[in-house]
Structure formats: structure tokens, C-alpha cells
Amino acid sequence: MKKGEKYMNEKEVQNELKRLSLYKKNNKVPGARTIYLAGGWWGKYQPQLLIDAYEALLDNPSVAHIHVPLLHQYGGNAFVDGEFEPDYEWATMTYKADLRGIDNTDITVALFPVEDQDTGTAVEVGYAKGTNKPVVGVFQGDAYKNPINLMISMSTDASLVSPDLLKYFDFMDIQPNMYDGRLI
């Protein structure tokens, strides 16, 4: 996000994700994996990280499908400039749909802009680990200046520092590595 640039609202993020999915088609390898893309879409850093990660995953031949919760909002509702206040029905159905999204995919990719972490993403990581799904974390930003909670950083099977690396990551053979940053 450049200085003076306004934050994208949820509808703008949705539209950009849909636009990318229409033109980004490539050949997938046999056995390609399905991905649950966990990450927020509000605030200063989250929208662009989500878009960049989605675009990189679309280009990855080891990824067959990407489930993005924002594209599957219950009742088509999304928060727009903070004007939508979820009721219990929306909250319950969104929560259940997100868990089903994790259940129905092979791997969770969790996005953590270190300056703007999302607690909902933390819950998704915990659920994925609890159901024995591999988790690939993308920790973008200075993780020494902005430490990550050890329960999140240690829950990832592989840790990346940029969404661009998702384009080349082999989701069919996840090689574990250590999170590189300060812990809290």
C-alpha cells in the first residue's frame, strides 16, 4: 500500500479475486492439490497480500483449486467499509462454511502480514492442524520487528516470507522448514 493510497474494501478485493480467476488458467499436474486460502481482507496490508497470494497460487501447477472464504460469503454478504454488522445467523453460517472449506481441501495456506495479523486466520490454522491438514504460512514483513505468536509460527509445516514464493512452491511434496522471525 503506497502512502496516501486508500485501503481496498471487501467488495473491491472480491472483484479483483474474481477477475484474476477468469484470466489465470494454466495446466495443472496430475494429483494437484486443493488449497484453503486463510487470510483477512481488511486493514492496511491484508487485501493486497490476499490478492498476491491468490494470483501466485493460480499460477502454480501443483494447485488444482483454491477455496477463498471471501468468495463464499454466506448470503453473498461481505463487510463494506464497516457498514455490515453480522447477525448470529451470518456468523454461524460463515464459521461453519469456513470449517467445511478446510475439511474439503488438502492444504491450508495461511497469510500473516506481520504488521496486521488476523485472529480469524489463527483459528483457521488451529482447526487445520487439529484435523491433520498441512499448513503453509506466509509471514510477510519484518518478523523480527513484529513477532508472531509461537502457536501460529510453530503450527506451520513450511514458512514463506513472500506470497510470490507460492507460485513455485511444491504442494505435492511439502518440505518442512522453520519459521524465521521473533516469537512471542
Q: Is 21 exposed, middle or buried (0-12, 13-18, 19+ CB in 10 A)?
A: middle
C-alpha cell at 144: 523480527
Amino acid at 47: P
**pLDDT tens track, the chain, 184 positions:** 444 566 788 888 888 988 888 866 667 889 999 999 999 987 889 999 999 999 999 999 999 999 999 998 888 766 656 677 778 888 899 999 999 999 999 999 999 999 988 899 999 999 999 999 999 999 999 999 999 999 999 999 999 999 999 999 999 999 999 999 999 9
Q: What's the predicted TM-score (pTM) here? A: 0.91
Give the chain's domains with CATH numbers.
Answer: 36-167 (3.40.50.450)
